Structure 1
Amino acid sequence: MKTLIWKGIYYQSLEYFNLFSNDKNYTVESKIIGCHENNIYALDYRILIDKDWIIQDFLIESEINKVKRIFSGKRNQNQWEINGVIHSEYNNFKFIDISLTPFTNTLPINNLKLSESSSQKIDVMYIDVLQHHIRSVQQQYTRTAVNKYLYENIETDFKAEISIDEAGFVTAYPKLFEKITEL
């Protein structure tokens, strides 16, 4: 089991994160609270991940300014069922990117296992919790050092060099997140 706390700099948040492991998969359970642009929010998410760091299912329950919402997703082979509806535009997607947490960067980092100076583009389901919206985005990860990756959102030209620990978890994501403690 791994437990850590991330501070959201831009999103003014704290995340209490737990990763559990067994022979077949990883399970993440996490809680985030914060405020951003007149939104007071609480978020609980649960993710089931196989040993290759590929998402199998997720549940995101949020409350934003007292309005409760749910996103649920389940992989059935290479198809995704989101909130009970098959979405073929996400066929073969391995990863999600939840807007309020740096954890979802760990998924491609640990799955791709890039060597230094190599990079790869991936398709990701981006889940904007505050706007309650899911969309497809293309991202690129480039390993710039043993513990650093250049993250790029191809669509928006956003770039950031993120630092990770030996297990692939974000320790510093400039202007967005930083790890403040770990058990």
Structure 2
Amino acid sequence: MTMEATAVTRELIWRRVMDELGFEHARVRRGQEGTELSGVILVAEQGAPLRAEYSVGCDGAWRTRRVSVTQSWRGEHRTLTLEHDGEGHWQKDGRGSEELEGCTDVDLGLSPSTNALPINRLRLGEGASAEIRAAWVRFPALEVVPARQGYTRTGPARYRYESLESGFNAMLDVDTDGLPIEYAGIWRRLAEGPAAPVSSTQAFVEALVSPGPSSELGDAAATFGWLVGGWAGTIQDHDPDGSVRQSQGEWWFHWVLEGRALQDIFIVPSRRAPAQSGPGANRRYGTTVRTFDRAGGRWQITWISPTGGAINRLAGGRDGDRLVLLGEHHGKPIRWSFSDIGADRFTWRGEEQDSAGQWKLQARFDMRRIT
């Protein structure tokens, strides 16, 4: 959820005083459209560094609407996306989640900040209590389970939190925004103040990049979703005379436009490759945007190459164990395909059909996953 430029912003830091093994740096942005909590959590988990970046978007009534989490732990990056319609129906990573039906708020297990969500949404009077059903995110598994919780307002700025299933309870002292100051010897606020304005670069990235696919894509997201991340490998251009020119390249994929599209950046030669002598593969620095045509049941892509001046449009999808896309370039049929797909590798081929109907290889990319 994007906050307008006039939103009030704050930054806060908490320390996990329970075991002195963690910190959280959070940002709160409040505007007419609602509130966004975002932050970075750094903790020692089972002896290994764990970093979690999160964003929780709420509407004007403090109802949780969208959640994204990216976790790095023990050499692995994992992501989680939750979408909530405000009426108790949830999508998890783009798919309906029946087990979360009826949940009203998200509770990030490593964060004190998300206690502010039910506190602000419920707006209890002093002495009043309420029971809620929360979507509880457990770290480092990134599991989401429903959790019965209770909140009681025991004073002007004090609440008692209860896990109604485990029996755990704790007192929360909060500020005027419902954000914890002291969380019963578990978390303690160290600092808070106004946040610096978001840079135009950061604002652009936040508007473009999405943590995961939109629920609108359904099962179609899996067709190309496995590509998200970074790849590096050998790029070959095959010339009509049979010669082959070769360089190293890199390829980056991510969901964009609220997860409705998958975009990539393709770079040859790789930015980190040493300079090479002799003719290498064609220089490429371009981008492809992939969108799904639900009516036609196929993916459509547009490749834009500022370095080569090409704009190619193709369409297609899964064909057996390959992904095949068809289009035209200068009036000739072209075929782009992904094959030999593994967990950490794939081969991409670019082909053109000649007048005899034969497919001629023009380019081949052998890629391996790097992130």
CA distance in 1, matches of 2:138, 2:17: 17
Asked if the contact 2:86/2:104 (under 8 Å) is kept, the reply is: no
Aligned to 1:164: 174
The answer to whether the aligner puts 1:91 opposite 2:72 as a matched pair is no
Q: Which amino acid aligns with 1:31?
A: V
Q: What do residues 109-146 of structure 1 show as CA deviations (whole Å, max 9, x unaligned)?
A: 11111111110000001101223211111000011111
CA distance in 2, matches of 1:29, 1:150: 24
Which residue of 45, 48, 58 corresponds with 2:54?
45
Asked if the contact 2:63/2:86 (under 8 Å) is kept, the reply is: no
Aligned to 1:133: 143
Q: Which amino acid aligns with 2:12?
A: L
Task: Using CA pairs under 8 Å that are at least 6 residues apart, name the structure with larger relative contact order, 1 or 2.
Answer: 1
Q: Greater shift after overlay, 90-99 or 157-166?
A: 90-99
Which residue of 18, 26, 51 corresponds with 1:17?
26
CA distance in 2, matches of 1:76, 1:119: 25
The answer to whether the aligner puts 1:4 opposite 2:12 as a matched pair is yes
The answer to whether the aligner puts 1:181 opposite 2:191 as a matched pair is yes
The answer to whether the aligner puts 1:64 opposite 2:97 as a matched pair is no
Decide which structure has greater strand share.
1
CA distance in 1, matches of 2:119, 2:86: 22
Classify the secondary structure of the residue corresponding to 2:36.
Answer: strand
Aligned to 2:244: none
Aligned to 2:285: none
CA distance in 2, matches of 1:81, 1:174: 33
Gaps of 5+ in 1: none
TM-score of the superposed pair, with normalisation by structure 1:
0.94
Deviation at 1:77, TM superposition (A): 5.3
Classify the secondary structure of the residue corresponding to 1:104.
Answer: helix
Gaps of 5+ in 2: 1-8, 194-371
Q: Which amino acid aligns with 2:179?
A: F
CA distance in 1, matches of 2:41, 2:108: 12
Aligned to 1:28: 37
TM-score of the superposed pair, with normalisation by structure 2:
0.48
With over 3 angstroms needed to count, the CA separation of the structure-2 counterparts of 1:180 and 1:77, relative to structure 1, is closer
Classify the secondary structure of the residue corresponding to 1:52.
Answer: coil
Classify the secondary structure of the residue corresponding to 2:77.
Answer: strand
CA distance in 1, matches of 2:175, 2:36: 19
Classify the secondary structure of the residue corresponding to 1:106.
Answer: helix
Asked if the contact 2:99/2:145 (under 8 Å) is kept, the reply is: no
Q: Greater shift after overlay, 146-155 or 167-176?
A: 167-176
Asked if the contact 2:43/2:49 (under 8 Å) is kept, the reply is: yes
Which residue of 129, 153, 158 corresponds with 2:163?
153
- Identical residues among aligned pairs (%): 22
Asked if the contact 2:40/2:54 (under 8 Å) is kept, the reply is: yes
Q: For the aligned residues, what is the CA RMSD?
A: 1.4
